[in-house]
């Protein structure tokens, strides 16, 4: 089990960029898959991006080409670089860790507190 702390959320104009970071503790990080999810008001939490322990990456179609997920196992961090942001990207973003890369919440066993991303038009 890992403990995750997110940072980097904020307010940005449409077309701008923002970088989210997640700092992890615990012995499982290096061999766990990491994922980013987001939840907009009144909507269900959805998968955004994921990365395996060895660096294989997956993105949801709506962010592919705009978002980049990365990890540094030595520094125990995972990042989400977001570019060309759109108002529909506005949501609370959550970092998650699990034994395998998955698209659903129940495949992850550790979660960050969430960080708000607001994109203005």
Report pLDDT digits (tens) over 42-57: 999 999 999 999 999 9
CB 4 within 8 A of CB 96: yes
> What pLDDT does residue 1 have?
67
pLDDT above 80 (res 29):
no
What phi and psi values does residue 110 have, to the nearest 5 degrees? -145, 140
pLDDT at 8 over 80: yes
């Amino acid at each position: 089990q890992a403990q995750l702390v997110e940072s980097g959320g904020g307010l940005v104009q449409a077309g701008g960029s923002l970088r989210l970071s997640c700092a992890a503790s615990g012995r499982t990080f290096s061999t766990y898959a990491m994922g980013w999810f987001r939840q907009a008001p009144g909507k269900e939490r959805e998968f955004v991006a994921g990365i395996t322990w060895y660096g294989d990456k997956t993105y949801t179609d709506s962010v592919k080409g705009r978002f980049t997920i990365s990890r540094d196992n030595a520094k125990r961090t995972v990042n989400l670089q977001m570019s060309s942001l759109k108002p529909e990207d506005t949501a609370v973003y959550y970092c998650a860790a699990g034994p395998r890369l998955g698209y659903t919440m129940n495949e992850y066993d550790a979660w960050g507190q969430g960080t708000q991303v607001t994109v203005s038009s």
